[in-house]
Structure 1
Amino acid sequence: MYKRGKTTIFACKADPRFSYCLYVPEDLDTAGQPDLVVAVHGTARMQFQYREAFAEFGRYNNAVVLAPLFPVGVRGDDDADGYKYILEGDIRYDQVLLSMVAEVEVMLDCRFPPFLMFGFSGGGHFTHRFLILHPDKLKAVSIGAPGSVTLLDSSRDWWVGIRNLRELFGRDLDVEALRRVKVHLAVGAADVETWEIQHQVGSKRYMEGANDAGRTRIERNNSLKTSLEQHGITVMQDIVPGVAHSMHGVLPYTMRFFRGIVQPRERLAAQ
């Protein structure tokens, strides 16, 4: 009974420092092949809010929702931002997430197709960098208002660019796979505060070019859009009127985008 509906929290078997909760449709066993939606929290780690945000979508679209938790300071140093950049010391957050997906497949006795991923703010950091590294795992992504962006710039190292992808992650950029993923960018039109996103010289993740993508999240959103489109990747963008830095403010636009990707139950029943 703990593996249907809005579940309890499970430790990740591959690395119990990390955990996840799920929404699992009650009729999973009879509803056919489920989709998977991964919903990645921001810096505040409001994991349950992200699961709650997609539970109704999961119910009506035969989708399991996985909301991971990447705690602050898992290496004992109070670092709140490691997961956003995928690599933190010996931790590969992309691999942690893929381990969670594999564990859920075993738990639910199913095999997910390429999945949908949403992340807002810090989760938007993670989501677009996961897209760069693992486009083959994804059907669609909705990237919400990341404070910093990695551009497909082969003249600069990670995290500003992608020059050393193979050195750090053991893989090259797969542009053809990227072009198969449906990409959505969302940011509030009033999301213009800069105090949290400007990288200061000497700070932990400062590097040359850290602030070159723009001053605000909107400008950085636009820079990411341009970079993707220059590589032939189709991007849908919503700059949401009257919304500042709010996950719930951009969420209706993400939902609209995702509804165009999955097959709702009424369409499945008609086939």
Structure 2
Amino acid sequence: MTTTEPDSQEAHFVGATPFFASGHDQRLSYGLFVPKDHTPGAAPLPLVVVQHGTGRSAERYRNEWADFATRHGCVILAPLFPAGIGKRRELHSFKFLEYDGIRFDEELLHIVEEVGQEFNTETETFFLHGFSGGGQFAHRFFYAHPDRLAGVSIGAPGRITQLDDSLPWWLGTGGFREKFGIELDLAALRRVPVQLVVGSADVETWEINNAGGPNWMDGVEKTGRTRIERIETLRDSFERSGLSVRFDVVPGVAHQGSLVIPVVQDFFAGLLASRLK
């Protein structure tokens, strides 16, 4: 008697997949979009990581990138770092790379390695985009692991870390090596294509000017009043350090990560196309 059980099982490992627990830390998980014509025997596909923000909208972002994955022949990875790990109602831990003994940058690398083993993707380098809280994570991950990135897109971070050793972490990179055991590598940072992106109407300040809040550090106010001003400060910091930056202000868009996706996809599409030349 034959059975279709193996086929029905494998059907969940292409297209929009379930969310899988990370093999390294099962408090964390990830979902994927894998083009349906991709097979284990084919050449590995490039990997695009789309990091959620405070709202943990990982599934929505994954789905919004599905057409891009099919058109450009890549795999979309959407990590999910739940709120409330270690402390109830805690929202911001992953944005700063380390919290309560968890190194979220290293946990993402464990997930990337696992995805490479299970889904036939390129993992030596990958593309990374994050918006808002995801943009915070993305630029700090970039500082820690530039050698792993084929390109990084940083969207509207409410709190920035400047490339400035005279400022303490996380306002700047002072004490970076002592905290993370990683030497900041400016030469490697300069080799990574960088996009900074924000909406022209991203001017609400209620969430980012919360003095005394759990994600506040005195000195944040000096980086700008709005997310637009803060990402301009980050751009200036990058350029002073010799980084080349594509700076996109999306007309008419407020703090809406979904509405900057076309501009981010244009950036990544160009990078993917250049890999084929």
Give the TM interval when normalised to the shorter protein.
over 0.9
Q: What is the Cα deviation at residue 128 of structure 1?
A: 0.7
Relative to structure 1, the CA distance from residue 111 to residue 139 in structure 2 (aligned partners, 3 Å threshold; closer, same or farther) is closer
How far apart, CA to CA, are the structure 1 residues paired with 2:151 and 2:233?
20
- The aligned counterpart of 1:59 is 70
Match of 2:194 in 1: 183
Q: How far apart are residue 111 of structure 1 and its match?
A: 4.0
Cα offset, 1:227, TM superposition: 0.4
**Which consecutive unaligned segments of at least 5 residues does structure 2 have?**
1-9
Displacement after TM superposition at 1:59 (Å) = 1.2
State the alpha-carbon separation in 1 of the partners of residues 218 and 184 from structure 2.
21
User: Equivalent residue for 1:122?
Assistant: 133
Larger radius of gyration: 2
Select which of 207, 211, 234 maps to 1:224.
Answer: 234
| 1:121-140 map, 5 Å | 121-140=132-151
For residue 123 of structure 2, what is the aligned residue in structure 1? 112
SS of residue in 2 equivalent to 1:57 = helix
The question of 1:90 aligning with 2:101 is answered: yes
1:215 deviation in Å?
0.5
Q: Secondary structure at the match of 1:129?
A: helix
Equivalents in 2 of 1:37, 1:110: separation in Å?
10
Write the deviation string for residues 8-37 of structure 1: whole angstroms up to 9, x where unpaired: 110001100010000112222255231000
Q: RMSD value over aligned CA atoms?
A: 1.6
**Counterpart residue number, 2:184:** 173
- Equivalent in 77, 88, 98 of residue 88 of structure 2: 77
Deviations 1:240-271 (A, max 9, x none): 1111111122111101111100039xx96xx8
State the match for 1:9 in structure 2: 19
Deviations 1:38-90 (A, max 9, x none): 00111111111110121111112121110011111111331101111111111
Q: Which of 147, 156, 171 is the equivalent residue of 2:158?
A: 147
Is residue 35–residue 69 contact of structure 2 (8 Å, CA) maintained in 1?
Answer: yes
Distance in 2 (alpha carbons) for counterparts of 1:112 and 1:34: 9
| Paired positions, count | 266
CA distance in 1, matches of 2:116, 2:251: 39
SS in structure 2 at match of 1:65:
strand
Partner of 1:253: 263
Distance 1:219 1:31 in 2: 45
Query: Residues 120, 77 of structure 1: CA spacing in aligned structure 2 closer, same or farther, 3 A cutoff?
Result: same
Contact 1:84/1:123 (<8 A) preserved: yes
Structure 1 match to 2:30: 20
Identify the match of residue 172 of structure 2 among 161, 167, 175.
161
2:258 is equivalent to residue 243 of structure 1: no
Consecutive unaligned residues of structure 1, counting only runs of 5 or more, are none
- What is the Cα deviation at residue 105 of structure 1? 1.0
Query: Letter of the aligned partner of 2:33 in structure 1?
Result: Y
Q: Distance in 2 between matches of 1:118 and 1:33?
A: 20
> How many percent identity over aligned positions?
46
CA contact under 8 A between 1:33 and 1:112: conserved in structure 2?
A: no
